[in-house]
Amino acid sequence: MKWIDYESPHSVREAVDLLNEAGDRARPLAGGTDLLVQLRAKAYDLDLVVDAKNIPELNELTYDPDNGLTIGAAVACYRIYGNSSVRSVYPGIVDAASLIGGTQIQGRASLGGNLCNAAPSADSVPPMIAYNGVARISGPNGSREVALEDFCTGVRQTVLERGEILVSLHFPTPEANSGANYIRFIPRNEMDIAVAGAGVSVVLDNGSIASARVTLASVAPTPLFVAEAGEAIAGKPATEETARIASAIARDAARPITDMRGTIEYRKRLCEVLTRRALMTAIERAKEN
């Protein structure tokens, strides 16, 4: 790896100043499970990495029913699935956090990093969109919030501008009678990149779908939020037949490429199957709530 400088600021302000001064010659470092690999592969040419793990706001993990869930951008996966509130209230996030990489990767990798890395296959992003997640960003001109479905703008491209850092991910408390799920297809049992994935949430009302959100992984340049799949089943009974309506729309919305992991046709078919299965699991979870 070529020479880099390392800074470990203790406040968001300091981090923003460092990132703003260096521009695209610097990137924040959370778990490093993508960034260090990319630096060795010369995917980025940096002079500076700014370690985000000593900034209190980026290590926050708090939930309360009034304010929802806040996950600091540098919080590692193991802390997320080890948190009893997250496990009981946001199981769809736990689905993803517990299947990214193996045990060693989960000891370091963060959902904030997964989002900012902006890979189409990012496992945690579809369920975070399903839970109406918002990115809280700080920068030289102050703070702003961006809905997670608007955060990734292309392969490895995000809305972050010069000097901006993702501080945390925020999720409102799910409504009563709601459920969510993330599943993916990989040819191995674990430790693989999704051929396709589906993250969904549903809110039930007397056995019907009050609202639903469907987001797909690995089938577009960014995580693909398919608003119309959820909208089409609002008001319909919470049955497999209804799930099939949404999954057909998800299949048609997917715009995958053919590569070593799968063909266009195969991935579109996977979107249909995964969306239907994820919706049925989310409905079951909603009934348990």
Partner 1 sequence: MPAKTYVQTIINGEHVDLLCEPRQSLLEALRDVVGLTGTKEGCNDGNCGACTVEFDGRIVTSCLVLGVEAEGKEITTIEGVAQGSELHPIQQAFLENAALQCGICTPGFIVASKALLEQNPDPTEHEIRFWLANNLCRCTGYDKIVRAVQDAAVKMQEA
Q: Give the closest residue to 131 by CA, choosing from 220, 58, 225, 64.
A: 225
Work out which of 10, 37, 43, 147 binds partner 1, going by CB under 8 A. Answer: 37
Q: Should residue 84 be labelled a site residue for partner 1 when binding is judged by CB under 8 A? A: no
Question: How far apart are the C-alpha atoms of 133 and 148, rounded to whole Å?
Answer: 6
Q: How far is the CB of 238 from partner 1 (least distance, A)?
A: 31
Is the torsion defined by CA of 84, 90, 91, 92 positive or negative? negative
Q: For partner 1, which is the closer residue by CB, 29 or 118?
A: 29
Residues 177, 289 contacting (CB under 8 angstroms): yes
Task: Mark residues 40-79: x for contact with partner 1 by CB under 8 A, - for none.
Answer: x--------x-x-x----------------------x-x-
Structure tokens at 75: 């919080």
Question: How far apart are the C-alpha atoms of 55 and 24, rounded to whole Å?
Answer: 21
Residues 76, 172 contacting (CB under 8 angstroms): no
Stretch that binds partner 1, among 115-123, 189-197, 260-268, 269-277 (CB under 8 A): 189-197
Q: Should residue 193 be labelled a site residue for partner 1 when binding is judged by CB under 8 A? A: no
Q: Should residue 108 be labelled a site residue for partner 1 when binding is judged by CB under 8 A? A: yes
Q: Should residue 33 be labelled a site residue for partner 1 when binding is judged by CB under 8 A? A: yes
Q: Should residue 190 be labelled a site residue for partner 1 when binding is judged by CB under 8 A? A: yes
Q: Tokens 């769809």 label which residue?
A: 92
Q: Should residue 105 be labelled a site residue for partner 1 when binding is judged by CB under 8 A? A: yes
Stretch that binds partner 1, among 31-39, 155-163, 164-172, 197-205 (CB under 8 A): 31-39
Stretch that binds partner 1, among 98-106, 122-130, 160-168, 232-240 (CB under 8 A): 98-106
Q: Which residues bind partner 1 (CB under 8 A)?
A: 1-6, 8, 29, 31-33, 36-37, 40, 49, 51, 53, 76, 78, 101-105, 107-108, 189-191
